A and B are shown apart, each in its own frame.
Chain A
Amino acid sequence: MSDAGATPVIRVRGLVNRFGTQTVHDGLDMEVRSNEIFGVVGGSGTGKSVLMRTILGLRAPDGGTVELYGNDVQQMAAADRSSLVRSYGVTFQNGALISSLTVAQNIQLPLREYYPASEQTLDELAELNLGLVGLSPGDGKKYPAQLSGGMVKRAALARALSLEPKLLFLDEPTAGLDPISAAAFDELLLYLHSQLRLTVVMITHDLDTLFQTCSRVGVIVDGRMISGTLDELLQNQNPWIREYFHGARARAAGKEAHG
């Protein structure tokens, strides 16, 4: 591995996750370095979301360790949950906006919890986060049910950014979006990544997103992770990876990205 000197943002070692008799992860290793966009791919049922939940400390693994910035997540989850959750931002697959709150209130929710301030300041911060993801202040007054799919994803991103984390987890951020909205989201992500110096871990099946945004990609195959740059993975001989990156859809996405 190159630049081994810096502590990785995320270091997963020998992760094992089981559901009953079914083993999802079997000695999975993963490393995410500072300031990169790391894509996680894998077939259905290979435990992408389980991996994310484990890294977030929402699920105790059956074996192995997960470290965020060199600290063990399970220990942090047990000792001081609030400092753990303040170190990352998360968006969930379907947005997971609280449906009884407006978008602005959704953004203010974690702020209110951790950094009490006046209503005016909170309103300004909501406006800031809406602006960051390209939504207008008027959108903040809407309820999640009144938003389009693309706006829900942006609103969820705004909420994830509200505590100004350095690390962002995105679960299928472009799933269910039309290609234009998805491309706009990719662009937004790249822009925020460069401006805010974020480290991003993204679960995605969208090959366009993968080719456009990710600097490295980890593929979950047989309970383990094979990671590398896209070029490295394109050379990989594993049958599933070959199928994934050399299928018709992948060729189309790759052609677009490279030339």
Chain B
Amino acid sequence: MTALTLQGEAGGWRLHLQGDWSLAALAQIEAQLAGLPGDMHGTLDCDWSQAQDPAMGTAWGLLMRLGEVGRLEIRHSGNPPHFLQLLQKLEADRRAPPAIAAAPSTVGLIGTLGRWSVLQGRHGQAVLEFFGRLVMVIREAFSRPRALRPSSLARHIYETGVTAIPIVSLIAFLISVVVAYLGAQQLSKFGADIFVVDLVTISVLREMGVLLTAIIVAGRSGSAFAAEIGVMQLNEETDALRAMGMNPIELLVLPRLIALVIALPLLTVIADAMGLAGGGLLSLLNLHIPLVQFVYRLREAVSPTTFWAGLIKAPVFAILIAMVGTYRGMQVRDSARELGRLTTVAVVQSIFLVILADALFAVLFVKIGF
């Protein structure tokens, strides 16, 4: 369908607009406008009489193209749409002041590197500042117990700890069943079935109990911390707190931090118990090791330090998860996209830091023979 036909020649042109000129025909009209000759001059008479439902968008496209193709004196006839005058006025305004062109960027690779370094430096500074403020708040809070906010603390212990019990239990149970099952496949080749107990108990108590719990909690609560505080940032709630003389770090960060330091070790104990239960159950059903023998072997295999070697890591992981989550939440500015990005960053970084810390603990424990 043709939307326009051009008649005439140099000096006096006549443009007939016909057919559908609503926004629905935008792409089509755009293509046909592109086909207008490039160098027209003289007068051009636009005949609107056969254009149906002309829309501002399409008319604007027409004006833009006609403004580009050459020096034309344009007249509109045939009952042009009522908004045409407005569009012509806008177009005239548009041409008036040429924007001052920005100086071309001369920044090359070195500049990019420099900017990146400065940004990283500022970032490190911000992390240090946050850490410093947090330490100050903690010191203050212990001299003024009211700052610990028991009700808020209880809520966070419930949300991060109690509600996480089912998923933590389930995962610890299943993973230790898998470890015991696969371990039994290998160990039974040597007739060393009974060592499955050693394998399960030591791996669950030293490593997997606490590490799995920390990773689950980082996913659940680290993201929740970042998102909650992030939304409060977007709503200017943190600014409101500051304006009322309250410290957002004391009100928002500290309860979450302390709650997680309390909840994560407790969750770890539960995960340890469920892991041992899973190992014991599989030993009974698959390897026919009676529970009494399982417990007897367990006491042989495990020294008291095995349990503590796992549990002692839990508060450290809790601090890492809580600090990363709340710090990223406090960084949220301006937009919903930032909120999503920083929540993701919070989870990824806290899991990374937990695993890094776990590796350092492993090296440390081997060195000191713990």
Contacts and interface: CB of A to CB of B under 8 A. Distances in A.
B23 A164 contact: yes
Interface residues on A, range: 20 to 34
B25 to A, nearest CB: 9
A100 B335 contact: yes
Contact of A124 (B24, B64, B334): B64
A125 B57 contact: yes
Interface stretch (B87-95, B118-126, B145-153, B281-289): B87-95
B258 interface: no
A4 B337 CA distance: 50
Contacts of B82: 195, 197
Q: From DSSP, what is the main secondary structure of chain A's interface residues? A: helix
A121 B26 contact: yes
Contact of B87 (A118, A128, A144, A197): A128
A129 to B, nearest CB: 9
Contact of B56 (A99, A116, A145, A164): A164
Interface string B253-277: 0000000000000000000000000
Residue of A99, A121, A164, A197 most packed against chain B (CB within 10 A): A121
A58 interface: no
Contacts, number: 65
B27 A117 contact: yes
A121 B61 contact: yes
Contact of A144 (B23, B60, B333, B335): B335
Nearest to A131: B90
Nearest to B334: A145
Interface in A117-139: 117-118, 121, 124-125, 127-128, 131-132, 137-138
Contact of B26 (A117, A131, A138, A196): A117
A115 B335 contact: no
A99 B336 CA distance: 6
Interface of A: 98-100, 111, 114-118, 121, 124-125, 127-128, 131-132, 137-138, 143-145, 163-164, 195-197
Interface of B: 23-24, 26-27, 30, 55-57, 60-61, 64, 82-83, 85-87, 90, 93-94, 99, 333-337
